[in-house]
């Protein structure tokens, strides 16, 4: 009997061929797909291959340490500090302070490690403040460097949280309620009898409407030949043996050339070496606020390099060498670094012509840090000599530096 005719649905088989291969792949059968039937993978929910115990352990350790600190810090009963107040002011003894004090009394533990790994900790330990205060300063400095935010400035914090506030000017001209000039702050007329020149005024003014401002971040930096033989470190509060005296010589020489100068002799290292840049930041801001005519701002330092690198014979006389340090914007924003570099190039050019060989190396050191040079154009850090130079060698170098700066001002090669 003949079978009845039935229509068959044609099936198309697709074969994936890879050119250049003479042999069939091992999974060639699984590559055959029936036309019209989509290939679907079974649903596989996301499941970690293994539990990240290392990360969980680190998180738990950090949270546990934070909890121990917070739960053991005594409650504050006195007046609350403002958010813009100075960070790290010691009030009551906390759990962290007590343990740090124990480690401090045992020289074989934490303090010896810090002395080897962080030489600055040894210097700050010798101050009158507690050791825990300096540890908190290290932490706050690190947080400020990582975040790029001034943690003691309420304005900066709000600008980060509310970006629109950065577009609002801090002051608007013509909308002031004062019909007369603001009274002169008493701090501006403070006196320290140990300071050199200008009757010991902390803010020494030579001339009216100063064009050059001078301050010293590391105000205790001194010079070994001028210190007693038993001095443990090249730091001193005898201002006649420190960079404060060098800054005063520079102010005098500039004023003798007809340039009005203001020198801030504020002790920016009064709370130790680590917080000095935070202190000098506010000093420089006050200087620019009180003296808006300043267009060149100089931070005077001395280096720790060997004597042969910081000394040269200029015109037959031993003279301290000079290095101009310019901060950049590699780590933190610095809108004025191009203008600062241009000013440094002009000063270095005049120094080469006035005193050949007085510059250390190329004369200009570009660094990734800002050193408070983000405050205004024309802001430089100048290293004059080193710790092993004599005060006479510093005096000769300052005289040549004043000549170079006066020529820059004469040729109007500074930011206006």
Query: What per-residue confidence (pLDDT) applies to 104?
Result: 52
Supply the angle between the helices 243-256 and 391-410 in degrees, to the nearest 10: 40
Query: What per-residue confidence (pLDDT) applies to 10?
Result: 58
Q: Which residues contact residue 144 at a Cβ distance below 8 angstroms, ignoring those fewer than 6 apart?
A: 150, 151
Q: What is the mean pLDDT of residues 379-387?
A: 97
pTM for the whole structure? 0.60
Compute φ and ψ for 365, nearest 5 degrees.
Answer: -120, 110
Grade residue 298 by pLDDT with cuts at 50, 70 and 90. very high
CB 203 within 8 A of CB 262: yes
Residue 148 CA to residue 34 CA, distance in Å, equals: 61
In this structure, what token pair is assigned to residue 264? 């801030």
What's the Rg (C-alpha) of the chain? 33
Comparing C-alpha atoms, which of 248, 212, 225 is closest to residue 389? 225
> What tens digit of pLDDT does each residue of 178-223 get?
445 567 788 888 888 889 888 889 999 999 999 999 999 999 999 9
In this structure, what token pair is assigned to residue 286? 């006050």
Biggest alpha carbon distance in the chain?
A: 134
Q: Which residue has the tokens 């996301």?
A: 46
CB 408 within 8 A of CB 342: no
CB 274 within 8 A of CB 252: no
Query: What per-residue confidence (pLDDT) applies to 185?
Result: 83
Strand ranges inside 93-252, DSSP E: 203-206, 212-215
Concatenate the DSSP letters of all residues of 278-291 into one string. Answer: HHHHHHHHHHHHH-
Residue 115 CA to residue 21 CA, distance in Å, equals: 67
**Is the confidence at residue 323, as pLDDT, over 60?**
yes
Name the residue with higher pLDDT: 13 or 238.
238
Determine the 3-state secondary structure of 201 from DSSP. strand
DSSP label of 32? -
Residue 82 CA to residue 222 CA, distance in Å, equals: 35
Query: What per-residue confidence (pLDDT) applies to 134?
Result: 52
DSSP label of 78? S
Residue 216 CA to residue 205 CA, distance in Å, equals: 15
Q: Tell me the pLDDT of the chain averaged across its residues.
A: 78
Q: What is the mean pLDDT of residues 2-18?
A: 57
**Helix residue ranges per DSSP H, 291-373:** 307-310, 337-354
In this structure, what token pair is assigned to residue 220? 């205790």
Residue 311 CA to residue 380 CA, distance in Å, equals: 21
> What tens digit of pLDDT does each residue of 84-117 get?
444 444 445 566 566 656 555 544 445 555 555 5
**Is the confidence at residue 123, as pLDDT, over 50?**
no
Q: Strand 296-303 to strand 379-386: parallel, antiparallel, or no bridges (unpaired)?
A: parallel
Query: What per-residue confidence (pLDDT) applies to 128?
Result: 45
Grade residue 297 by pLDDT with cuts at 50, 70 and 90. very high
């Amino acid at each position: 009997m003949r079978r009845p005719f039935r229509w068959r649905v044609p099936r198309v088989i697709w074969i994936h061929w890879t050119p250049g291969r003479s042999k069939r792949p091992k999974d060639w059968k699984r590559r055959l797909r029936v036309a019209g039937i989509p290939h679907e993978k079974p649903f596989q929910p996301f499941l970690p291959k293994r539990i990240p115990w290392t990360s969980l352990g680190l998180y738990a350790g950090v949270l546990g340490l934070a909890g121990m600190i917070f739960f053991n810090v005594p409650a504050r009963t006195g007046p609350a500090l403002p958010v813009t107040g100075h960070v790290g002011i010691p009030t009551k003894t906390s759990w962290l302070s007590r343990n740090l004090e124990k480690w401090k009394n045992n020289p074989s533990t934490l303090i010896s490690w810090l002395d080897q790994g962080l030489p600055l900790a040894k210097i700050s330990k010798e101050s009158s403040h507690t050791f825990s205060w300096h540890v908190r300063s290290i932490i706050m400095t690190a947080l400020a460097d990582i975040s790029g935010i001034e943690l003691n400035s309420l304005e900066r914090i709000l600008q980060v949280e509310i970006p629109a506030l950065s577009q609002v000017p801090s002051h608007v001209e013509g909308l002031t309620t004062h019909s007369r000039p603001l009274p002169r702050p008493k701090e501006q007329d403070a006196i320290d009898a140990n300071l050199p020149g200008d009757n010991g005024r902390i803010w020494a003014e030579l001339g009216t409407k100063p064009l050059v401002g001078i301050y010293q971040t590391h105000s205790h930096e001194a010079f070994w030949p001028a210190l007693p033989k038993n001095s443990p470190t090249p730091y001193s509060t005898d201002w006649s043996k420190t960079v404060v005296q060098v800054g005063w010589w520079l102010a005098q020489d500039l004023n003798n050339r007809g340039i009005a100068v203001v020198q801030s002799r504020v002790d920016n290292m009064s709370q130790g070496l680590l917080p000095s840049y935070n202190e000098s930041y506010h000093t420089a801001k006050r200087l620019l606020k009180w003296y808006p005519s300043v267009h060149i701002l100089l931070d005077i330092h001395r280096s720790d390099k060997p004597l042969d690198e910081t000394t040269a014979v200029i015109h037959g006389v031993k003279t301290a060498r000079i290095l101009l340090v310019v901060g950049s914007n590699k780590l933190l924003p610095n809108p004025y670094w191009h203008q600062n570099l241009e000013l440094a190039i002009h000063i270095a050019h005049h120094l080469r012509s006035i005193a050949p060989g007085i510059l250390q190396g190329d004369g200009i050191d570009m660094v990734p840090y800002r050193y408070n040079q983000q405050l205004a154009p024309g802001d430089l850090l100048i290293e004059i000599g080193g710790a092993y130079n004599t005060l006479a060698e510093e005096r000769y170098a300052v005289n040549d530096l004043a000549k170079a700066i006066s020529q820059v001002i004469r040729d109007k090669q500074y930011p206006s």
